[in-house]
Amino acid sequence: MELIPEQIPPEQLPRTVSARVLGMQMILASRFHTDGEGMIRTVHPEEIAGTGLSRRDLFRTALENMTGRMPPQIYLPEEWGPSRPRRGSGLLPAEQTRSRLLLRRPQALRAKGYVLTNSFGKCGAAVILYPDLPRQLCHLLRSNLYVAVPDPEHVLVFRTEDISPAGLRIFLGSTGGPAPRIWIYRCFGELISYRPLA
């Protein structure tokens, strides 16, 4: 099982197991192949009715499955595009990832944002829901974070030290299309909280 961020017509929502999270409609789905590329079909409410599992349990299981099969990837903005690597090694442990970013470009930790997706680059916005990933990102980037979800394929992450809320809104408004909602993630040691940016 996995979660896919999907825009579906409201009249079809009752035929899915879904929830709205961070402004995304997340739909429970199953995949027919384990390589991450196979066919996906949505899970219908009647399929889980007799399992005794709550929606929360099912979503947690789906996210745990995805963490291993479709690991998170972080890109600098100039690396993101049609020519990006299709598959990567996933988000490395914090110090290795920091070193890798710094080796490529000394100013990498002062970049004006990062692109976060999964190793397949498909339905990658769900990675922000992976267990413990936001806390790891706060520690990796040594900052609280602004997070925006412009589409189902990726999430934009900004260090709060590098851009003001007003500057972020201007930037997101200049990318074309409706500006996505912005969330602020605050890290307190091992704890993390998030809320919409007012």
Cβ contact 125:149 at 8 Å: yes
Taking the C-alpha atoms of 98, 102, 107 and 112 in order, what is their torsion angle to the nearest 10 degrees?
Answer: -40
At 101 the three-state DSSP class reads helix
Q: Name the residue among 114, 94, 198 with its Cα closest to residue 157.
A: 114
**Can you give the pLDDT at residue 90?**
43
Residue 147's pLDDT is 92
DSSP state of 93: P
Q: Hey, which residues does 142 pair with through a beta bridge?
A: none
Question: What local confidence, expressed as pLDDT, does residue 180 receive?
Answer: 82
Per-residue pLDDT of the chain (198 residues; tens, 9 = 90+): 677 777 677 777 778 887 877 777 788 887 665 555 566 778 888 888 888 888 888 888 888 888 878 888 888 776 766 555 544 444 444 444 444 444 444 444 455 788 888 887 778 888 888 888 888 888 888 889 999 888 888 889 999 988 888 888 888 877 666 778 888 889 887 777 888 886
Q: Given this model, what pLDDT does residue 38 score? A: 60
Distance from the first to the final alpha carbon of the chain: 34
User: Which pLDDT value is given to residue 99?
Assistant: 45
- Report the alpha-carbon distance of residue 69 to residue 29 in Å, rounded: 14
71 contact partners, CB below 8 Å, separation of at least 6? 88, 89, 90, 91, 118, 119
Domain ranges across the chain: 2-69, 72-196
Residue type at 13 in one-letter notation: L
Predicted local distance difference test score (pLDDT) of residue 49: 83
Instruction: State how far the Cα of 158 lies from the Cα of 148, in Å rounded to an integer.
Output: 9
